[in-house]
Structure 1
Amino acid sequence: MSDRSASNMDLGVPEYIWYHVAKNVSSPKLYRKLVQCSKYFYNKNPILLLHCLLYDNGTWRTCSKIGGKSCGEINGETCSDLKAIDLDEISIKIWVTNVIGAYSLWEDKITPLVIPSTLNSYAVNFEGWDQELSFDQLLLFGGTVKSCYFENVSVKKNDHNEVSFAEIVQSLPMVEEFTFDAESDSSFTSTTVKELLKIPHFYKIKTLKLGNVSDEFDIEEFYQLFLKANKTMEIGIWFNWDVSDIYKQKIEEITKEILESESNDFFPPVLYGIYADGMKLYEKAAKYKSLH
């Protein structure tokens, strides 16, 4: 890091302008360049840049080489060598640049995630298992996320009501790959499809995988209004085993119509369950991908 002060970095620029730049850095990439140029920017606005940050069964872990060259690539892949870090002992701001995740795989029930007020996320990958998030936490993490994986994750508002699946998608404006294994039946409602189709960035998702989908999710409406015209989104849906016989019949009819169609004008969804021929749908979807 350079020892240059603000006064001798550029004689034509007043110090108060450099101060304004230091205090209003808009991204980790810009911040990294600034502190490499001069330690002035770190002194005026100290920020710890973490590449990967995972909450692993009660312990926060991060890359062993914090800030090192080996952790500079923003690729959404979690580093293999992670070490414990006590975030409570860090008083400066913390920015996560690549992956943020929370796991409680050994807990008997989902647990609320507690994060320090100094933490901010610019991560491109967000992963969660057996966690309860607040809606504010989802908004904090979700703005830059391109890949998201939720299994048994519950998102609650301040009134303790659960956030719907459509509201979660709304909170992920950049998402391209989303796997959502529902924590409860209340994630999907009779209005979910209508709400999803009103979200502009929903149509930019490249891969969507849904698990534990209840019969509240209007699969027939989803098929008629979106799936039959979908040409770009790879979709897999695993249905709850407890769906009604009437709902099973709807899935069977949709499956039959897709398999009997000789058209390759839309990307076939893959529907899984004892009442859906998932393997044949998978093969048809794979054929579509190979042709497009």
Structure 2
Amino acid sequence: MRRSARIAALTSNSTSISASTKPNRKRKAEEVSTIVSIKQLHFHGSYIRQNWPFRDSLINYITKNPSNAKAWTKLIQSCKYFFAKNPVFVIDKLGHESNGWTAFLNGIQKSIDFTKISSKLWITEKFDGFNALNPPKNVSWIIPKLYKCDAKYLGLVNDVISYEDFLFLSSNLEEIILYKCIVKKDNGSIVPLEKLVQVLPKIKSILFCENFDETSITSNIVKELLELQHFSKIDKFELQNIPEIFDIETFFTYLKKNKHTKFTITFVNSISETYKNRLKEIVDEIIETEKHDYKIPNIYFGGINIEKWEKLLSIFYKH
């Protein structure tokens, strides 16, 4: 088979991404999309039914059940038949830019109009819906346009998604940002943060900002997080807008044994004076201790002494 066949267009009159396997290095710049009709599901021109040296049942299984993104990319580059029968296009990243959704592949980016896409996307690296200036509205509506998400990074902001969609997007995550984003079950109940962390066994970095209107923080969050086998293996854990319901006593006991995770915790301004006073005592204990055999946390709350906080930060960054 010729390996120079290009991948079919993703959209009509606007967006498409194509991959080229031409060996000539001078032609690498030609790895650019070609605009064709949305009705054309395959490569340019018609394809010829192959006389496979295998049973049709085996070819059909291979076509409909790609083993991994890399193998599928090589398969559709080698023969246009496979993409015609299963129009799935592999991309590195799907991100939300100022002009809407954009697909990235090998450094090339193209705007995506999901209302015109005929093919499905297979994301391998990033699903980035974290755009503070132009946040996507209702990420869930594009999920049916995705074949699979193997992304290592997920960023969502000011959105509500279903638990089913969260599981679909997060199966391979190592880094996640949930900024005022709520995950709900089919019955409308909010999935607590600890339950989300529970289904992220590969996670290394978490940034979670609490939503003021609907909370994902429960009184059991500390207890249940500490019971997770992979919790102690997380490299970075940042919590923002955390309410007083957070069990600071149990957490501080854990912090003094923690030798791996870098914690940053910012509390809401509405915490009580009693809670603030306890936080002040914790900060004083940390900065007054000469030697620390644990990872220093970054703790911030309204009313903290700025000089003490700056000293805490200095120790935090040194560790």
TM-score normalised by length of structure 1:
0.81
For residues 131 and 317 of structure 2, the distance between their equivalents in structure 1, rounded to whole angstroms, comes to 34
Aligned to 1:210: 239
Alpha carbons 1:129, 1:152 under 8 Å: kept = yes
Aligned to 2:9: none
For residues 140 and 242 of structure 1, the distance between their equivalents in structure 2, rounded to whole angstroms, comes to 35
- In structure 2, the CA distance between the partners of 1:203 and 1:26, relative to structure 1 (3 Å rule), is farther
Between Structure 1 and Structure 2, whose CA radius of gyration is higher?
A: 2
Alpha carbons 1:151, 1:180 under 8 Å: kept = yes
Alpha carbons 1:190, 1:217 under 8 Å: kept = yes
Aligned to 1:79: none
Aligned to 1:98: 125
Residue 160 (str. 1) matches residue 191 (str. 2): no
Per-residue CA shift, 1:22-41, capped at 9, x if unaligned?
A: 32213212212322343343
Q: What percent identity do the matched residue pairs reach? A: 29
CA RMSD of aligned residues (A): 2.7
For residues 124 and 232 of structure 1, the distance between their equivalents in structure 2, rounded to whole angstroms, comes to 21
Higher strand share: 1
TM-score normalised by length of structure 2:
0.75
Alpha carbons 1:210, 1:237 under 8 Å: kept = yes
Residue in structure 1 matching 2:300, options 268, 272, 278: 272
Residue in structure 1 matching 2:312, options 273, 281, 285: 281
Q: Return 5+ residue gaps in structure 1 as ranges.
A: 72-81
For residues 202 and 150 of structure 2, the distance between their equivalents in structure 1, rounded to whole angstroms, comes to 12
SS at structure 2 position matched to 1:42: helix
- In structure 2, the CA distance between the partners of 1:104 and 1:287, relative to structure 1 (3 Å rule), is closer
SS at structure 1 position matched to 2:107: helix
**Superposition pairs of residues 24-103 of structure 1, within 5 angstroms:** 24-55=65-96, 59-63=100-104, 67=105, 69-70=106-107, 82-102=109-129
**AA partner of residue 149 (structure 1):** I
Alpha carbons 1:220, 1:254 under 8 Å: kept = no
Question: How much does 1:267 deviate?
Answer: 0.5
SS at structure 1 position matched to 2:102: strand
SS at structure 1 position matched to 2:313: helix
Question: How much does 1:5 deviate?
Answer: 7.8
Higher helix share: 1
Count residues with an aligned counterpart. Answer: 269
SS at structure 1 position matched to 2:178: strand
Question: How much does 1:284 deviate?
Answer: 1.4
- In structure 2, the CA distance between the partners of 1:105 and 1:266, relative to structure 1 (3 Å rule), is closer
For residues 16 and 28 of structure 1, the distance between their equivalents in structure 2, rounded to whole angstroms, comes to 21
Residue 134 (str. 1) matches residue 162 (str. 2): yes
Residue in structure 2 matching 1:237, options 243, 250, 265: 265
Aligned to 1:258: 286
- In structure 2, the CA distance between the partners of 1:161 and 1:58, relative to structure 1 (3 Å rule), is farther
**AA partner of residue 232 (structure 2):** Y
Q: Return 5+ residue gaps in structure 2 as ranges.
A: 6-47
Question: How much does 1:52 deviate?
Answer: 2.1
Per-residue CA shift, 1:202-242, capped at 9, x if unaligned?
A: 22210111100111011111111x21111111111111111
Shifted more, 85-94 versus 251-260: the winner is 85-94
Alpha carbons 2:129, 2:136 under 8 Å: kept = no
For residues 76 and 166 of structure 2, the distance between their equivalents in structure 1, rounded to whole angstroms, comes to 29
Alpha carbons 2:100, 2:136 under 8 Å: kept = no
For residues 199 and 166 of structure 1, the distance between their equivalents in structure 2, rounded to whole angstroms, comes to 9
SS at structure 2 position matched to 1:187: coil
For residues 281 and 272 of structure 1, the distance between their equivalents in structure 2, rounded to whole angstroms, comes to 10
SS at structure 1 position matched to 2:142: coil
Shifted more, 174-183 versus 83-92: the winner is 83-92
For residues 260 and 30 of structure 1, the distance between their equivalents in structure 2, rounded to whole angstroms, comes to 56
- In structure 2, the CA distance between the partners of 1:202 and 1:6, relative to structure 1 (3 Å rule), is farther
- In structure 2, the CA distance between the partners of 1:127 and 1:30, relative to structure 1 (3 Å rule), is same
Aligned to 2:142: 115
Shifted more, 126-135 versus 212-221: the winner is 126-135
Residue 249 (str. 1) matches residue 277 (str. 2): yes
